[in-house]
Amino acid sequence: MFPYRGHTALITGASIGIGEEFARVLAARGMNLVLVARNTDQMNVIASDLRTKHGTQVHVIGCDLSRDTAATELAEEVKKTGVTVDLLINNAGFMTYGPFETIDPAQEHKEIMVNITAMVDLTHIYLPGMLERRMGGVINVASIAGFQPIPLLTTYAATKAFVISFSVALWEECRGRNVRVLGLCPGTTKTELFERASAQNAAVGGVRTVQQVVATALKGLDRKKSLVVDGFKNKLLTEGPRFIPRWFAAICAGQAVKAKK
């Protein structure tokens, strides 16, 4: 088991969805929290509730992770709280959907900054301390979209492929050093991700709840897994692309997520 009680987790994208559920479950397990997202009003509501229910220490930090200097500025704010980050949950992320040439390049740039750059930067900031203390963990939220190229989700799927590769490689680097690294791959989950991207057509596979996703993640962390896929149907979806050429996988995936007439 990961030593949750009395330690501190930093959760990005903590104002809603999977990030909020991580906060609620970890507070119930005795962890102190640093909640990070742009919506500070919503995080303050969550923080107040968790302090009342569990007596846990909760810090709220507003931060736009799409900015170049976001990670270093966030680290400075965390330093002011005096806490030590023992579990880093890189959950923040968003999706763009549609033919590549129709998508706002500025939005795609922000997507890469949040989904990839902020994750790598924050891991650079907090992993060395964990290794020095020989205690800690990192959970990176990827997606089953990262297992194959997906037209219309071209950039999103590519960012999640990066998260999967990064997480498994880092797991091997940290193996035997008492620091756990886990890549978490949800499928379609009951959150606002697809609605915000106007990508309801891309919601394929079995629909899961945030409670199920977080339970899968923490079970994987406790078992020192490198990568976990949430849900049996989603696991099946990730197996197929291994046995067919990438170009054919892209054709199949594109057909699955395109707008239905």
Kindly list the catalytic residues: 156
Angstrom distance (rounded) from CA 126 to CA 135: 11
Angstrom distance (rounded) from CA 186 to CA 40: 25
Helices (H) then strands (E): counts for the chain:
10, 7
Closest CA to 18 of 187, 234, 166, 232: 187
Closest CA to 91 of 26, 30, 148, 151: 26
* Token pair belonging to 129: 């301390």
Per the DSSP assignment, residues forming a β-bridge with 10 are: 34, 88
Buried b (16+ CB within 10 A) or exposed e, 52-89: eebebbbbbbbbebbeeebbeebbeebeeeebebbbbb
Tell me the CA distances in angstroms from 226 to 41, 73, 77, 181, 259, one per residue in order.
Answer: 34, 29, 30, 6, 34
Length of the chain: 261
